[in-house]
Structure 1
Amino acid sequence: MDRHEISALAHADHPIAAPVSEATVGRLLGRAIRRPDAHLLDLGCGAGTWLLRALQAHPEVTAVGVDLSDAGFGRTRAAVAEFGAEDRLELSRQDVTEFRPARKADVVLSGAAYAFGELLPALDAAQEHLAENGMVLLGDCFWESEPEPAFRAEMEDGPQKYADLPATIAAIVGHGWTPVYGHVSTLEEWDEYEWCWTGSLAQWALDHPDHPDHEQALKTSAGHRDGWLNGSRGVLGFVSLLLRRTNP
């Protein structure tokens, strides 16, 4: 079972795939979509759930989602078809770093900075696809409090490094962007997300005791739960930002 399959199972009960509530998603999208016929692009869209929410709430919006995995695409397409919006959504399995859209987007969603290596390169990529006076809806982690060295090393075992919230915002502003709205995920949002993540995966494993990936799923769930309760809870934060270019 690869990480895409694990992620699809773990997000079965929390399809947003981020520690934010449905109410927060609606509020962020409502502020980002400033014209009824806005065009959205989600770089690293996962199953396309954010775009599904946008299409449900805004009947003239069109959207394109791109992800390296198409796990969940079928479920999202079926949900969109239920309210007759299949002609307003395009989902593409592709490396986001190689994606070249046919048109610029009024809103670019970017919640997978790791796909571009770091946060600021992810913003550069978003800018390439952004229409004039467009907005980026960015989601990323930061250090809510100082992590234990071992946990920091585990989380930063790659090109992306995290900072505290003031330093994260300062880096974004220094790179030419102005935050026009933001939301810091609450502990309640984090707990709901993590209980769903670990619980959904464990539930699947317990429901499929004869599946060859049964043990792997249980072990992954338990390991993630332990890392959350003993490492990231109250330490790792998540911020969602609406950003515009300071000098368009």
Structure 2
Amino acid sequence: MDRLRQKISTIAHGDHPIAAPLHDAEVDKLLDRALTRGDEHVLDLGCGEAPWLVRAAAGRPGVRADGVDLSESALDRGREHIAAAGLSDRVTLHLQDAADYRAPHQYDLVVCVGATHAFGGLLPTLEACRKHVAPGGTVLIGDGFWERAPGPETLRVGFSEEEFMDLPNTVDQVVLDQWIPVYGHVSTLDEWDDYEWSWTGSLSRWALDHSDDPDSAEALQTAAQHRTDWLRGYRGTLGFVTMLLRQESRPEPHTLFRH
């Protein structure tokens, strides 16, 4: 991601730090269901400004967390949020490609919400998560699906018909990949609208308030194009599902047979 794209993304998420169409109450519900002990180790692949990690660690003094992202500007903002919340001793951010991240231990919860593109799609992301999640652990993943078959207006803004499936087939491919959904949330149109108005509005407001910045004209144009793509392209067609997934615990081979 180049400097300008990083800057625009950071500004655009200023009023909606969770980079996905989820209301705060749903974020809290997902984390409450995932972090039942309160002393888990958490990893966020593609963490951005680390809002999931801040929310996970706040109020759970036993939680330790790592976040990985390629955006230096987002991580800088994330460290500010972490420091303001008094979590610098428990939440660590790493500037590197999430696909290359290696840790000395596995994690109780691995998060990747709205960042599956970094791995090439849903199933490759789950494969990356599988390498990091501890036995009995949970993956929290969020990705798009087609609420309805995409028409020409959706495909014109840069999507391909093969990019997503409908919700039943999206869940089926996760199950076929040997993951078991233990909870999920399908984002509502209200959540989508709040996210998109926040994204385009934050960026537009910044551009208007910083007209002397050399990037302001590009930011305003990007916000306008994004708003058009959303309203005339994928609103009501592109859905978003966030799932908590676990893998079935299988006994060791020697326990399966009695001699």
CA distance in 2, matches of 1:83, 1:204: 25
Give the corresponding residue for 2:123: 120
CA distance in 1, matches of 2:235, 2:153: 15
Letter of the structure 2 residue corresponding to residue 128 of structure 1:
K
Deviates more, 1:58-67 or 1:73-82: 73-82
Deviates more, 1:54-63 or 1:6-15: 54-63
Matched length = 246
Residue 76 of structure 1 and its aligned partner are, at CA, apart by 2.6
Query: Which residue among 138, 141, 166 is the counterpart of 1:138?
Result: 141
Query: Which residue among 59, 63, 66 is the counterpart of 1:64?
Result: 66
Residue 151 of structure 1 and its aligned partner are, at CA, apart by 2.3
Give the corresponding residue for 1:17: 19
**2:135 partner SS:** strand
Alignment of 1:1-248 (within 5 A): 2-111=4-113, 112-149=115-152, 151-152=154-155, 154-156=158-160, 161-248=163-250
Residue 114 of structure 1 and its aligned partner are, at CA, apart by 1.1
Sequence identity, in percent? 50
**1:72 partner SS:** helix
Residue 150 of structure 1 and its aligned partner are, at CA, apart by 5.2
TM-score (norm 1): 0.95
Query: Which ranges in structure 1 are unaligned for 5 or more consecutive residues?
Result: none
**2:134 partner SS:** strand
CA distance in 2, matches of 1:118, 1:78: 30
Give the corresponding residue for 2:253: none
CA distance in 2, matches of 1:195, 1:69: 23
CA distance in 2, matches of 1:46, 1:76: 7
Query: Which ranges in structure 2 are unaligned for 5 or more consecutive residues?
Result: 251-259
CA distance in 2, matches of 1:210, 1:58: 43
Letter of the structure 1 residue corresponding to residue 239 of structure 2:
G
Letter of the structure 2 residue corresponding to residue 155 of structure 1:
F
8 A Cα contact 1:176 1:247, kept in partner: no
8 A Cα contact 1:47 1:70, kept in partner: no
Q: CA RMSD in A?
A: 1.5
Which structure's CA Rg is the greater one?
Answer: 2
TM-score (norm 2): 0.91
